[in-house]
Structure 1
Amino acid sequence: MVSSRETHVTQQPGPADARGGGQFWRARNFMLFFVATSASTLGSAMVSVALTFAVLSHGHSAMILGVVLAAQAAPVVVLMVPAGAVADLWPRRSLMVGADLLRCASQGLTAVLMAGAHPSVAALVALVALVGIGNAFYGPAESGLIPVLARPEDLRRVNSLLSLSGSITAILGPSLGGMLVAVGSAPIAIGCDALTYAVSATCLSFMRTMRPTRRAATPFHTHLLTGWREFHRRRWLILMTAQYGILNLAAFAPFLILGPVSLAGTPHGARSWGIISSAVGIGGIVGGVIILFWRASRPLILYELAASALIVPLFLLARQAPVPVVALGGIAFGAGMVILNLVAQTTIQRQVPEEALSRINALFGLVAQGLTPLSYAMCGFLARSVGTKPVLVAGCVVVGASVVVLLMCRETWQLRDVPA
């Protein structure tokens, strides 16, 4: 198989760079990328609320809603690693444009379908599965394209700005989606999501690129194995990825699942959890600002500090602290989660060769996202078996133990924030 790779103007310094032209195109490309990412993220945040209530408003049960949401999540888990290999072989920008167009068409048809009186569940499942396929290919290509758009020394700030945009849209999107649902226009919210994908595809299409270069033919399975070898020979990456999986099971799921459960039996429980959820969004902004202005020379130490912050909200929920106090824990949770993601993303971008970047990010993302359904199911089962408080306390212990173990590993202290 002969593959083509896309080389951007920022990679090859030349006369334009000496005159400042390369810096201009780097800024131009990043602004187009920033607008594309922000637009599609806002639309996705809106549709997360709109699709849920659109399904329920047609009289479907919670089980049907679960099937619909699972149909969108499953392709990401199944296709993420192969999609990472494809993104390392073929032009990443082109893959992202194709994924955007697929998601735009799927969401547009979903809006039309849900505007009808009796939408077909089978058709809805098929359409949201196409969105999931687009998500599976967009993510690895996006993570591999960022280092091409920014210099190595700017990656931390670039990732932080993208995270801040994501945190803000995560707060605004559900509110806008909820407003549209409240006036009876859930299909319009879904249609707006389709429009944001069109905006994203347009911006990405205007990014300036050089003529693609050619690489030698490589069998696809060999390409996958090469990516696994690149992952396996970095022990710090294995440790970081394994701990993220542990945090998924011991911190993320207990907080997001057992938090609402703990408040469900209290007066104004839904409103209280809404306050805490908003605090998580605020914490995400705080975490993005911290990374924007603080350069950690040993990134994995900062990674462990962020992981330890996740203990705070679990402990407060276990102690049944007042809602304002738990909201402060929610700020710690949001900040810790964003710092974990930003440190992981930036460190991988600076330590892994560009030609293997999408495969490595896909393997990390498989643990980050692939364990989410399992962690939710395990958390609910354990809470029902032994109670909410023991699960929260166990989460505190497991997270704390993982931090202590990794701080005892020499790789945590030896890895420096310099390009490999």
Structure 2
Amino acid sequence: MTRGLAAMRDTGFRWFFLSRAITMIAGSMSSIALAFAVLGIDNAPESLAIVLTVFTLSNVVFLIFGGVVADRLPRALVIQTCYVIDILSIGTTAALLFTGSATIPLLAALSAVNGAASAFVMPAMQGIIPQLTTPAHLQQANAMLSFVRSATTIGGPIIAGALVATAGPAWVMVIQAAAWIVAIVLLAMVRLPAPDPSESSFFRDLRTGWHEFWSRTWMWSICLAFMVMNAIHIGAWGVAGPYIAKNDPRLGITGWGWVLSAEGAGILLMTLLMMWLPLRRPLRWGMLAVSLLAVPLAVMGLYPQALVVAVAAFAAGAGVEVFNTGWNVTEMEQIPGDKLSRVASYDMLASFVAMPLGTLAFGWLIGHVDVSSLLVGSAVVYAVIALGTMLVPSVWRMGRIEGAVAR
């Protein structure tokens, strides 16, 4: 078997990979279906914003609790239990849509349930991967999962759009529920030892996770940087980008679609390369690569021509994937396995918490300042923060653990 697929030698990871791939494929379709389901009930962007915001808020509120639970209980069982909750909520959503009984408050409540379940799944996912493969295969394992994720990001919305247009969003929900059932069965094939029983209280475990997080300068410095960087990213890319596409014919709505596809293609290509190219300094190269996102932001501000922005977006997408792989590998190697889910939950919380603020801030700024200046200034701030993290000695020096780089 080639080195790029070396993680598939590990039986537990093979079953987990199949389970995760199925949920990523179905999940990429369900978000589109939910959006059109909401708009089919009330064709107002405010209603869609309510449903999506409720999901995010519920996810953020429960994340740190999800990390503790994923460290105290068998992680595969945590994931399976949350999938059962998802099946019930998704099935209820489908039933409401089939019967014409769906309302915005009901969909928002079910979205909150999904957000809470996801808050337990994500830390468990982060913690289970090192249990399923060897340190030498960690980079390949993460790159393989990223490949499926990026591929579904490109193809999932196309398939979902066709299904929604022909069969309706409720049937997409049915497909997702069925996929989750298959994922539960596949996860049942994963055999892992039960975690040691915890004699400490829930909140003591929570404090232990915080200590593990805050005692590592490389971790909290990058997480603090990404609080700002993610706010800029989602605000500039998610709000300013479509605004320029709508109002500047050099970019245009069709051109914006090509830009987003180019970013996805950059991610996809880099996931393939990450299966074979070892990152011996994962944080150094990761932060250098992710700083490339400043380039398309600046280009959109200075010369928003579709082809030029798309080329820059392709490079930025590749850079984002270098960081994602490097960060996940470092976290999985450097954090003790019995505390990994808790630490990952603090990392995720820091990453997500400022994103709604970024959306709101850019929405306000676009109406009050020159958009070109806003994007160029945002690009400069983004690049300075990303590159500035490399001044932290532990970020600059961080390497792989001895013997962990596959040859």
Same fold (TM over 0.5): yes
Aligned to 1:3: none
Change (3 A) 1:392 1:24: closer
Confirm or deny: 8 A CA contact 1:76 1:135 kept in the other structure: yes
Match of 1:190 among 173, 181, 186: 173
Q: Deviations over 1:233-273 (max 9, x none)?
A: 11111111112222112334312221111110245832221
State how far apart, in whole Å, the 2-side matches of 1:131 and 1:117 are: 21
Q: Does 2:7 match 1:27?
A: no
Give unpaired runs (5+ residues) of structure 1: 1-22
TM-score (normalised: structure 1): 0.90
Aligned to 1:77: 60
Give the deviation of 1:150 after TM superposition. Answer: 0.8
The residue type paired with residue 107 of structure 1 is I
Aligned to 2:123: 140
Aligned to 2:103: 120
Structure 1 stretch displaced more, 356-365 or 328-337: 328-337
State how far apart, in whole Å, the 2-side matches of 1:130 and 1:154 are: 34
Change (3 A) 1:250 1:266: closer
Change (3 A) 1:110 1:354: same
The residue type paired with residue 21 of structure 2 is S
Aligned to 2:270: 287
Q: Does 2:172 match 1:203?
A: no
State how far apart, in whole Å, the 2-side matches of 1:213 and 1:159 are: 23
Give the deviation of 1:184 after TM superposition. Answer: 4.6
Q: Does 2:201 match 1:219?
A: yes
Q: Deviations over 1:323-362 (max 9, x none)?
A: 1111111212222222222211111001111011001111
Confirm or deny: 8 A CA contact 2:79 2:121 kept in the other structure: yes
The residue type paired with residue 163 of structure 1 is S
Change (3 A) 1:315 1:111: same
Aligned-residue RMSD, C-alpha: 2.0
Match of 2:228 among 246, 254, 257: 246
Confirm or deny: 8 A CA contact 1:307 1:399 kept in the other structure: no
The residue type paired with residue 158 of structure 2 is S
Confirm or deny: 8 A CA contact 1:250 1:394 kept in the other structure: no
Match of 1:107 among 77, 86, 90: 90
State how far apart, in whole Å, the 1-side matches of 2:126 and 2:61 are: 18
State how far apart, in whole Å, the 2-side matches of 1:206 and 1:290 are: 30
Q: Deviations over 1:73-102 (max 9, x none)?
A: 221100001110111111111000001111
Aligned to 1:179: 162
The residue type paired with residue 228 of structure 1 is W
Match of 1:338 among 321, 327, 340: 321
State how far apart, in whole Å, the 2-side matches of 1:77 and 1:293 are: 34
State how far apart, in whole Å, the 2-side matches of 1:408 and 1:266 are: 39
Structure 1 stretch displaced more, 30-39 or 328-337: 328-337
Change (3 A) 1:58 1:88: same
The residue type paired with residue 201 of structure 2 is P
Confirm or deny: 8 A CA contact 2:8 2:14 kept in the other structure: no
State how far apart, in whole Å, the 2-side matches of 1:292 and 1:256 are: 29
Match of 1:395 among 356, 363, 378: 378
Total equivalences in the alignment = 397
Aligned to 1:378: 361
Q: Deviations over 1:40-89 (max 9, x none)?
A: 11111101111111111223422121111122222110000111011111
Give the deviation of 1:119 after TM superposition. Answer: 1.8
Aligned to 1:417: 400
Aligned to 1:323: 306
- State, as a whole percentage, how many aligned pairs show the same letter: 29
Alignment of 1:22-61 (within 5 A): 27-61=10-44
State how far apart, in whole Å, the 1-side matches of 2:233 and 2:83 are: 32
Aligned to 1:6: none
Aligned to 1:272: 255
State how far apart, in whole Å, the 1-side matches of 2:347 and 2:147 are: 21
Aligned to 1:164: 147
Aligned to 1:361: 344
Change (3 A) 1:392 1:26: same
The residue type paired with residue 143 of structure 1 is Q
Structure 1 stretch displaced more, 27-36 or 401-410: 401-410
Confirm or deny: 8 A CA contact 1:227 1:356 kept in the other structure: yes
Q: Does 2:69 match 1:89?
A: no
SS of 1:308 mapped into structure 2 = helix
Aligned to 2:48: 65
Structure 1 stretch displaced more, 246-255 or 79-88: 246-255
SS of 1:413 mapped into structure 2 = helix
Confirm or deny: 8 A CA contact 2:218 2:392 kept in the other structure: no
Aligned to 2:113: 130
Aligned to 1:14: none
The residue type paired with residue 150 of structure 1 is T
Confirm or deny: 8 A CA contact 2:7 2:140 kept in the other structure: no
Give unpaired runs (5+ residues) of structure 2: 1-5
SS of 1:310 mapped into structure 2 = helix
Give the deviation of 1:26 after TM superposition. Answer: 6.4
Give the deviation of 1:226 after TM superposition. Answer: 0.7
State how far apart, in whole Å, the 2-side matches of 1:92 and 1:404 are: 35
State how far apart, in whole Å, the 2-side matches of 1:50 and 1:135 are: 18
Q: Deviations over 1:106-130 (max 9, x none)?
A: 1111111112334233322222211
